[in-house]
Structure 1
Amino acid sequence: MTGQKELFDHIDGTKKVKVRMGNGKKIQVEGKSTVKLDTMAGKHKLINNVQYAPKLDYNLLSVGQLMTAHHKLLFDEGVCAITNKKAKKLVENETDMKIKALRSDRGGEFIAQDFMKFCEVECIRRDLNAPYTPEQNGVSERKNRTVVEMATSMLHEKNFSKVFWGEAIATAIYIRYLSPTRALYNRTPYEVWYDYKPSIHHLKVFGCVAYSLKPKQHRKKFDSKTRKCIFIGYSPNSKAYQLYDPATRGVVISRDVTFDELAKWCFKGEGKHELSSELVMNVGSTSMGCPNNDNRNNESNEEPPEPQTPINHGSSSSTYATSASDQTPESKTPKACQLALSSMEPSSFDEAVEHKEWVDSMQVELEALKHHKTWSLTELPEGKKAIGLNKRVLRYVAGTIDYGIWYGKGEEICLEGYTDSDWASAIDDRKIVSASVFSIGSGVVTWSSKKQLIVALSSTEAEYVAATSAACQAMWLRQLLSELGYEQMKATSIFCDNISAVFLSKNVALHSKSKHIDIKYHYIKDLVEAKQVNLETCHT
């Protein structure tokens, strides 16, 4: 943990917590990331998962965490020397072999006293090049140049910020690891190491636009199902991709990702967090929106730049950008909003019949009503006046204007339902009518009355079908409450006045009186067994 912000290349601002110190005082942590430390040899070492606490006046080092990460620590005369032993253990564990010799140049990190002593203790022979003769280490020098040039090309191809040079280097090494080389007789290093050929179907273009699926546990009902990110590499610990989320300025590890490899992000200024002043719209797409300029003046030279809306080059859907400053006073309303205003429904019949599309829609609706036999059109009797359905509805509302449902304050958010049926109540076809009502706390929130499509052979069957219909409604309400933050931990009680129907919902076996019931009406049995719904008996 440190209070020195300059040690970080960038900070993951999503990791904000409060930490209690040894003296009992709490301090605010504004994020965490990787810090870069100078070594005695003039090189740099990286320490991961370092927390940034602005009000901390000193640096805290966790010896336990460093030891867990396979570092060796030596405290001497007020100095802590850190040596990384992870590479040695990793190689020996994966090959079941011991490292016997190490060849390198005379770089400071290779001839540092602590490292030389470590090799001596581990009985590792050191082969060093002659001073100032890099040609004796030509393989490593050429490989370093290849990796650096690959990373540089990837960053410039997508106009990517240099802040992500580390991720570009790691991705370049990963690609070389899966690429064949003549030194290994056209085999890949991966194949030589693991003795089988690697798959390359998962490789993607570095720095391209990526859309990561948000887990349903982290989104609400009408939230977007994806987050727009930038692809920055492959996770070393998971079979997943590493993405940079500009909204949170953090790294996302995800496997469910859709890539737009031809698209690139437009950065407005190096090292500045500035949102785009352009309005970018996809022609032919139904998803449009207005840009958010809440953070327009939020700038920082120490964190990675905030990318603007991506401009797609070469994709199947064309794009164009219109600068806000080029709009005339008459066109300052965003185009998406203008489209929404122009598509409003007509306010009257006379206005609707002037447009062919509305006339066609009305004709389709009339045909649907005729097909379902909702009503039949007939000539208006002489001397009678048509009042219309809307007037009947208004008359009903006017007569019940003093009626209402009371919702008490502080009531427990507990879903509860009632179900009933009217067996053979339809005179013409003897089909059943089922009904259900659900309440939360002290008031009813939903109710339904529906004529079923079957003829029940008994009152038990009629009540059982009605209960299944109510159970389906209960599952929808449970899911809705969960999305609103009121997850129902207990099974939802549905009360029914037929004992036989209650027993049938809890009886797995079928018998002669129920085996003829359609399979879909046995769905309630699964819900009862899963303890999501509980059918209970009540008096009529």
Structure 2
Amino acid sequence: MTPAARKVSVIEDSWIWHRRLGHLNFVSMKKMQQMEMVTGLPVLTEMKDVCEGCVLGKQHREKFDKEEAWRASCPLELVHTDLCGPMQNESIGGNRYFIIFIDDFSRMCWVYFLRNKYDTFNVFKKFKAFVELQSGFSLKRLRSDRGGEYASHEFQDFCASMGMERHLPIAYSPQQNGVAERRNRTICEMARSMMIEKGITVIFWAEAVSTAVYLQNRCFTTSVSSKTPFEAFTGRKPGIKHLKVFGCICYTHVPSPLRQKFDDKARKGVFMGYGSCEKGYRVYDLQSKKIVLLRSVNFSEDKSWNWKSDQEEYVPIPFNLERDEIEDENNEIQPDGTHFDDGGSSHLNSTVGDLVENKHKARLVAKGYSQKPGIDYNETFAPVARLDTIRTLIALAAQKDWKLFQLDVKSAFLNGVLDEEVYVEQPEGFELKNAGHKVYKLRKALYGLKQAPRAWYSEIDAYLSMCKFKRSISEATLYIRSDNEGGLIIVSIYVDDIVYTGNSERMLAEFKREMMQRYEMSDLGLLHHFLGIGILQTDQGVFIHQGKYAKSLLVKFGLEDCKLVSIPLPTGEKLKKVDESELADEGLYKKIVGSLLYLTATRPDLMYSASLLSRFMNSPTKRHMGVARRVLRYVQGTLSYGIDYVRNQSATLVGFCDADWVGSEDDSRRTSGYAFSFGSGAFSWASVKQNTVALSIVEAEYVSASEATAHAIRLRFVLDDFGEMQSEATPLFCDNMSAISMAKNPVFHQRTRHINRRYHFIREALQEGVINMQFCRSEEQLADIFTKALPKDRFKHLRCIKTFRDDPKLERGTTISSELFKAIQEPRLAIVVLSPNYASSSWCLDELTKILQCMKSNGTVLPVFYNVDPSDVRKQSGSFADAFAKHEKRFREDIDKVKHWRDALTEVANLSTIDSKNQ
């Protein structure tokens, strides 16, 4: 080879290895080759030309001077850690963060990917167990920033119990955690450069970050002399012959058992990194849309995949560093001129709060993500029942003394008939003998098909119509059937859950028989649970609540032992998008707010709080997060709250509407609130931000009344379908006389002529006798609770008017309802049964304190000790001591409350007693 040719070869090798090593700088590459720090690296030269990927991915400010720092003398003597995120885009595994751990001695780095910041502690425990077992050394010191993920009591207690030192920097001084901060930057720059050069879409950022960490552990670093981090930590020199350019086109071998005689022996993919074994490659299979780990791979390092043309077909596949899965997919065989989906087995074992019953399932599903619109499906929309319609039905049943029943359709989607021609592969492991190449033609829908919900709705709609049911015009999932004898049955459908009620036992039994003959059904009897809502039917009416769901939220977000608050928001609380606090965990914030919004299905007292918090879903701050947690603390004290719908009340629809007078600090728009009741408890409510800036409180109240009017008309339609026609105008109460006058007197003047014409719709409703706006005093305005953060007394007053009460079957909070307080005051004798678990309930202790206060002057308290020693009650010893240890920790800022409880127990134990063990 001539010198010129040799020089060209060296230049080409330098560029290709620059890309293989994740755009590592040429100086470090040359040192690695000269000092033989790795094997398999050829002779290289330092290039002066500009690499566009490096420029776009690594450009930065000039560095600051640094001082000589202390270094560890052995592995794991000091570990640096930092959390990076949240990323703007989720990875293909649904992760928003990554956390790194760096050994100070060797600069070896480990990376883990997280969905939420609060997973940090669990990841750290896994990392500690792994590295200590693999290295034989113990982790002695941990250096991190002061982020909440590292500063929790749980994290600190664990480190203390393990004898580890914590190195925490001074607040707002990230430079003191410089090793981890700088490594984060290096990792992101390398990942960004690799993705830019090959045009990799951003959802693969976790794959790029993992590859960057893998490469940096095998590359030269000035922090470790003459060794790579991998060799410094393990004692073995790493080989790099297997390295390839990230994001290049590759071809994976298809094993002979998975292909026919003349099928292709390879499948095209995109190289996405390395497995735990150096000879294993992570490949994104372009056909199966999965990332697989394979050994037999050929690479075309100069070629790239055109992601833009294929972007709509991506399907997220989980990325897991702890488990390497080798997946070989069957070849797809497609009949000419038709389209078909893959069939797969879906094994489910999920519990979502108490929204669904815990079931173990295994069913054949279609891979609907491969369907193409206009070919494999056309329409996909399927309606579901609105929650306010369900509450309206419950309120009607309570008012009419009807029973509510429930049916569940088993595998409902399998009953839907398909309009399109769809084929699926034979499920793996269940192929027909000698016909493995054939496919199935679907007559009915499978779970996973995009049109399956619509097909099921069309099926059930057609069958109910055949059974002489009339579908409601205002609610597509509401069906009514009546007969000549005055019998009536009402059916509401939410996918596969069917709720029905009526005044005729014969018609109810006939409907159940018809449904069970047509479909495979589960007869659930009386309605007890529906979409996470508990429903208690009694002789007095119907009580709905979400106590179990609320309790699961507190456990989920780690607030089951939190300090309680009496109102969800501080009086006059105003939030804005930009404040002085730091950004919070966006994913966690969205989960909390989303959970609170669903909790408003039976908790209108949370409606304004949840609505206010939902305005800051994008880039929430720590102040927003603190307010969200405060609302959960309020929920902890009101777990048993719900809405009571009682019998023998008026059947008139009544509404209240209101607006706040301050408005949002961000755009000055006001908040509208309204609520409607039908005989007893409120069944429909809203708290929404107005779409326009109101120039006065009169204008804001007028807009709110217009929005409430539109909703009232819809509710009147629903009640008409129920047979409860509202012959009179619906009363709509407003506490602003000027707004009422503006609605009743259609005159325009300088202060009103600019109002959008759509809001004058209320005048037409008044003229036609649909609504009747009436004045109410501000003290009687129920909708006030939906528009602003109220003082404690005002909030509790409105909450009680909304007919909240405690469910006696639910776990208690610490709030004694007004009904119970009245029951305590009236009797002259109170029997208190004290059991070993009595002191564990703060609610019981509050109740005991109230009983003793009320009975001192004119009543008698008779304590009964059930399987508990009176001396344990008197001295708060035994099980009572354990309970009070928790109370003192939980109520450490209100220690007087705990003292009152102790005094009450001592007082009741000194009274005349009955010991159940001797009776």
**Fold-level similarity (TM above 0.5):** no
In terms of fraction of residues, the more helix-rich structure is: 2
Classify the TM-score, shorter chain.
Answer: 0.3 to 0.5
TM-score by length of 1: 0.38
**What TM-score comes out, normalization by structure 2 length?**
0.23
